[in-house]
Each structure stands twice: as C-alpha cells, then as structure tokens.
Amino acid sequence: MPVELDLRQVLETAAAAAREAGLLQKERLGSEHTLSYKGEVDLVTEVDRACEDLIVRRIREVFPDHSFLAEENQYPEGDPALRWVVDPLDGTTNYAHGFPWFCVSIAFERGGEILAGVVYHCMMDELFSAVKGEGAFLNGRRMKVSQRAPLRKSLIATGFPYDVARDNENNFDNFIELQLAARGVRRAGAAALDLACVAAGRLDGFWELKLKPWDVAAGTLLVQEAGGRVTNHAGEPYSVYDHRILASNGAIHDEMLRILERCAAR
Ligand code: IPD
Ligand code: CA
Ligand code: CA
C-alpha cells in the first residue's frame, strides 16, 4: 500500500528549503562570483549550484525516495512519479550584477500534476505558496489576482530567451504590440517572480517563450490558485513542459491572446 502523501509536509519542506537557499543568496549578494557560461549570455554562479545542492539535500532528508528535475544538475535516482521541480536561483543575471530581483522556485509534482509550489523572494522576505485546491498565500495571507481590465489600463510583464541573437522566435514582435496595447510592460528578469506577482495582483498578466519547467512550475500553480488563468499562446490548457506561457488575472487574457495570435500569424 503506498503511503498517503502529506501535502502540508511537502509545502513546509519546500518553504524551509527555499528560505535557507534565499538566506544564502542574500548573504553572498554582491560578493565576487565565480561565473560559468551555459551559453553566450546564459550565466551560472557558484551560488546557483550551492543553493541547488542545499535544496536537494534538505528535501531528501524528509523524502529520500523522491526524484528531482532541477536546473543545474541531473538526478537519476528516485521515484519519477514523485518529483520536485527546482530552480535554485531564478534571475541569475540579475543576481550576478547585484540587481536585487531574484528568487528560489520549488514545486512538487505527482504523476505529472503540480500539487504544491513556493517562490521565495529573499530581498523582501516574501514567501509565495500554494497547494492545489487550497488557494495561494503570501507570507500566510491569501492572495488574489487583480480584477483589472482592459489591457490598456493593465501592467504586464515578459522576458526574452537567452538565444535572442540567434533565433527569430525572440518575442520582439509580441513585445512591441503588447507594449502599444497595455499601460506598461516590465522585463524584470525572473519569470518565477513575475508569475508570483500576477498571483499577488501586482501584475495583471505575463507571457514568455521558451521557459523551462523549473521557471514556471511553482508560479503557474500560484496564479491558478489565486484565481488567475494560465494557457499557452493558442488559448489551450498549459503544461509546464509547453513552450509558450500566458498567465493573467483572467480579465485581460483574451485580449492578450488575440495580440499573441495575431503576431504568430505574421
Ligand atoms: C531566466 C529568468 C528570466 C527569463 C529566462 C530564464 P534563470 O531564468 O527567469 O526572467 O527571461 O528565460 O531562463 O536563468 O535566471 O534561472
Ligand atoms: Ca529560471
Ligand atoms: Ca536558475
């Protein structure tokens, strides 16, 4: 008989690991970093790796049989049906430059379904958390997406893939059209935090291309549990393994979709 999974314990473990990693990020912010490159502009610092090691270690202390899909390392061990999806430091470019906008993102997936997630923004000591079906919370207080509409009065966000210089699918077209239609577009450099901000009603929408599951796994659950809508750019149900994400308060979703569809058809 499989042991019943305690999602409270899952969430508490994720939150504790995220807080510990966040503390490490804060302590080492502004110090001399050892940079390595995954691509021409795709950086990784020693702090990304140290945070991932710490998070995996902490989770394994509580759930030794679970598996991991994380950004900096491969983890072949563990039950693939019980998997943690981890971005140890989302916003690495910001971090390496001392720009204080980055976070930890940890989600838990069972049989392909995201059941719990946390995003921790250490510089503001803000923990965004959600368990599927139980709502989304910011430092323990329930979050709700905004009700703002139309797009003309909305603040939205996006990001650009690391291969913008090499691939035509670079988000520039979408950016121009959505910037013209919205009150403002922000490009702050941490996708998981953008999603957390949509969930908290600080942003009204977010779209991006070519994100990885660890960028979005926790954040999409936050948005959904805060009452928002998440689809791909064709308006279909979104999976964290999809290529294109659109997350919003729901009220401006169709308006954003129409613009993204128009750009894709060019
Ligand atoms: C990046 C950030 C950024 C997004 C990139 C991601 P990383 O993650 O989320 O906002 O535009 O596509 O790769 O590399 O800082 O973990
Ligand atoms: Ca990331
Ligand atoms: Ca990262």
Task: State the pLDDT at residue 36.
Answer: 85
1 part of a folded domain: no
Q: Does residue 243 register a pLDDT over 70?
A: yes
Task: State the pLDDT at residue 34.
Answer: 85
Q: Are both 127 and 157 inside the same structural domain?
A: no
Q: Does residue 31 register a pLDDT over 90?
A: no
Q: Tens digit of pLDDT for each residue in 21-30?
A: 999 999 999 8
% of the chain exceeding 90 in pLDDT: 88
Nearest CA to ligand 1 atom 13: 211
List the structure tokens of 154.
């909305």
d(C-alpha 157, C-alpha 180), whole Å: 13
Mutate to test the pocket of ligand 1, among 35, 43, 87, 90 (most ligand atoms within 8 A of CB): 90
Q: Are both 12 and 121 inside the same structural domain?
A: yes
Are residues 13 and 6 in contact, defined by beta-carbon separation less than 8 angstroms? no
Task: State the pLDDT at residue 41.
Answer: 75
| Domain stop point among 94, 114, 142 | 142
Mutate to test the pocket of ligand 1, among 215, 243, 244 (most ligand atoms within 8 A of CB): 215
**In sequence order, what are the beta bridge partners of 229?**
248
Task: State the pLDDT at residue 57.
Answer: 98
Nearest CA to ligand 1 atom 12: 161
168: domain CATH number? 3.40.190.80
- The mean pLDDT of 196-213, rounded to a whole number, is 98
Q: Are both 156 and 58 inside the same structural domain?
A: no
d(C-alpha 179, C-alpha 163), whole Å: 21
Place of tokens 């128009």: 262
Mutate to test the pocket of ligand 1, among 42, 93, 207, 211 (most ligand atoms within 8 A of CB): 211
CB atoms closer than 10 angstroms to residue 224: 21
- The mean pLDDT of 197-222, rounded to a whole number, is 98
- Tell me which residue of 73, 75, 125, 83 sits closest to 103, measured CA to CA: 125
Task: State the pLDDT at residue 24.
Answer: 97
Written as one string, the DSSP assignment of 76-123 is: --SEEEEEEEEEEEE-HHHHHHT-S--EEEEEEEETTEEEEEEEEEGG
Task: State the pLDDT at residue 132.
Answer: 98
Q: Tens digit of pLDDT for each residue in 122-171?
A: 999 999 999 999 999 999 999 999 999 999 999 999 999 888 888 888 89
Structural domain total, the chain:
2
- The mean pLDDT of 61-71, rounded to a whole number, is 98
- Tell me which residue of 131, 97, 104 sits closest to 191, measured CA to CA: 104
- The mean pLDDT of 61-68, rounded to a whole number, is 98
CA of 41 to the centre of ligand 1 (A): 11
Nearest CA to ligand 1 atom 11: 159
Atom of ligand 1 nearest to the CA of 159: 11
Q: Are both 159 and 261 inside the same structural domain?
A: yes
* Cβ-Cβ contacts under 8 Å for 4 (sequence gap 6 or more): none
- Domain range for 16 is 7-142
Q: Does residue 235 register a pLDDT over 80?
A: yes
Are residues 131 and 11 in contact, defined by beta-carbon separation less than 8 angstroms? yes
- Tell me which residue of 127, 108, 104 sits closest to 62, measured CA to CA: 108
236 part of a folded domain: yes
Q: Does residue 1 register a pLDDT over 50?
A: no
pTM score: 0.96
Task: State the pLDDT at residue 3.
Answer: 62
% of the chain exceeding 70 in pLDDT: 99
CA of 153 to the centre of ligand 3 (A): 31
Q: Is 29 annotated as a binding residue?
A: no
- Secondary structure of residue 19 in the 3-state scheme: helix
Between helix 191-199 and helix 213-225 the angle, nearest 10°, is: 0
Pick the residue with more confidence: 94 or 170? 94
- What does each C-alpha distance from 77 to 56, 66, 162, 203, 233 come to in angstroms? 12, 8, 30, 38, 34
- The mean pLDDT of 50-66, rounded to a whole number, is 98
CB under 6 Å to ligand 1: residues? 87, 90-92, 159-161, 189-191, 211, 215
Written as one string, the DSSP assignment of 166-211 is: T-S-SSHHHHHHHHHHSSEEE--S-HHHHHHHHHTTSSSEEEEES-
Q: Tens digit of pLDDT for each residue in 249-261?
A: 999 999 999 999 9
| Domain stop point among 142, 160, 184 | 142
Q: Does residue 264 register a pLDDT over 90?
A: yes
- Ligand nearest to the Cα of 245, by number: 1
